[in-house]
Copies of this chain bind each other. A is one copy, B any other.
Amino acid sequence: MASPASPYPAGSAAFPHRGLVGIAGLASHEIRFLLDEAEQWVRLNRLPQKRDDRLSGLTIINAFFENSTRTLLSFELAGKRLGADVVNMQVAQSSMKKGETLIDTATTLNAMHADAIVIRHHSSGAVQLIADKVDCPVLNAGDGQHEHPTQALLDALTIRTAKGEFNGLAIVICGDLMHSRVARSNILCLAALGAEVRVCAPPSLVPSGIEAMGCTVFTDFDKALDGADVVMMLRLQMERMTGQFIPSPREYRHLYGLTQERLVRAREDALVMHPGPMNRGIEIDSNVADMADRSAIIRQVEMGVAIRMACLDVLTRKVRGTEGWQ
């Protein structure tokens, strides 16, 4: 979508002029640019004094319409470490359900002169709806079953840190593909970066047409794992664990859980990933999740703060009048 000559044309739909609503619409060089930017924040965050003041005086509002302790913490730390004034609006457990429309909430936040709004919402498309109504960049922190772009970016950074380039990597994403915004964003991101993406789920949880996103579909986890460089497990949502979609958690683990025995089918140095929080003993066994040399699960959390710092920095460059990426 971006031409080689003019790398950041006005037509770049999702980024950065209107924020970061999804991986869809990002060119691969835009993704790589964000990964490159994040590396300075990985280094900063490992120092005792992890503060940069480039967002000083800017206002970031984290508007979470759906509970998410760890994603909220990650965004809050990212904003504060960049020196911004950060305020959280946790609607799920609060009162802004007085019948106000989502658009009225959005224009209210906008009128308080936010410089970036981070939104998590239970409805697919809610973030785009808000982004269309406000003047500042909007970051999607997960909307319904649509996208969770910063999760995909932090996963990509984790993989790149461990494996180098994406070309030639076979990456398996296993779990509830039907309902997972993490899966959607990751497929789009990793495919754009040139990896071979294999997705795997019980037949009842494979959305039709998913191949068009740039992946190969498996329903046999053992086959999907064959020679894989990265195994990314998805969280099984409690509400899907009974009936309709899977027979039982025990059955699920038997067929789609990442066990030590099963991991042998992947490459000897295959990386194990999970976006958290984990259901230990269901989609992933503890002895796999805790492998010191192979599991990148803790590293993913660390990369999360860095990626969010990169996004907040890059998306607010225009308002700060900073040269470079606009």
- Number of residues in A with C-beta < 8 Å to the partner? 61
- Chain B residues with Cβ below 8 Å from A301 are 107-108, 111-112
Interface pair A57/B61, CB less than 8 Å apart? no
Q: Contact partner of A321 among B48, B58, B108, B276, CB < 8 A?
A: B48
CB of A291 to closest CB in B, whole Å: 14
Among residues 51 to 80 in chain A, which have CB atoms less than 8 Å away from a CB atom of chain B?
Answer: 51, 56-59, 61, 67-70, 73-74, 76-77, 80
Q: Are B57 and A49 in contact (CB under 8 A)?
A: yes
Q: With a CB–CB cut-off of 8 A, which chain B residues contact A74?
A: 112
Q: A238–B99 contact, CB under 8 A?
A: yes
Given A48-B321, A57-B51, A77-B87, check contact A93 B96 (CB 8 Å): no
Copies in the complex: 3
A110 to B46, CA, bound (A): 11
> A319 interface residue, CB < 8 Å from B?
yes
CA distance A152 to B237 in the complex (A): 43
Instruction: Jot down 8 A-B pairs with beta carbons below 8 A, ordered by A.
Output: A50-B58, A50-B59, A51-B56, A69-B94, A100-B276, A111-B298, A112-B301, A112-B304
The 7 closest A-B pairs by CB, nearest first: A67-B95, A51-B57, A100-B277, A49-B57, A111-B301, A69-B96, A80-B85
